[in-house]
Amino acid sequence: MGLEEYADAYPATLSGGQRQRAALARVLLSSPQLLLLDNPLGALDALTRSKMHELILQVCKKEGITTVLVTHDVREATIMTNKIWVIKALFPPC
């Protein structure tokens, strides 16, 4: 995950991208078959987001993990997935 130099750091001192990588590492420790991601990169800057796209894709492919990604970002959906489902709300937002 590229976090070796932060092994002794407190979570509050990590950047958003570092926190996301740490969270992904914790999840991967359990060797999941399915990974559910709900807008996981929404709060990251464009460069960090791009790096996280690559990291998630690489890890999931290597480990054979099926991933379900929920996002509002069409570009992210086209980069990160091989199937896209668009869900339309039945009721307008309040």
**Domain ranges for the chain:** 4-80
Q: What is the pLDDT of residue 33?
A: 94
* Whole-number average pLDDT of the chain: 86
pLDDT of the residue at 91: 77
C-alpha closest to that of 35 among 2, 73, 4, 62: 62
Indicate the pTM of the whole model.
0.73
Contact 40, 48 (CB under 8 A): no
The owner of tokens 């339309």 is: 88
Assign 65 to helix, strand or coil. coil
Amino acid sitting at position 8: D
Average pLDDT of 70-75? 86
Q: Which CATH architecture has domain 4-80?
A: 3-Layer(aba) Sandwich (3.40)
**The pLDDT value given to residue 66:** 92
Higher pLDDT, 89 or 49: 49
Residues 54, 63, 81, 77, CA torsion sign = negative
- Tell me the average pLDDT across 57-80: 89
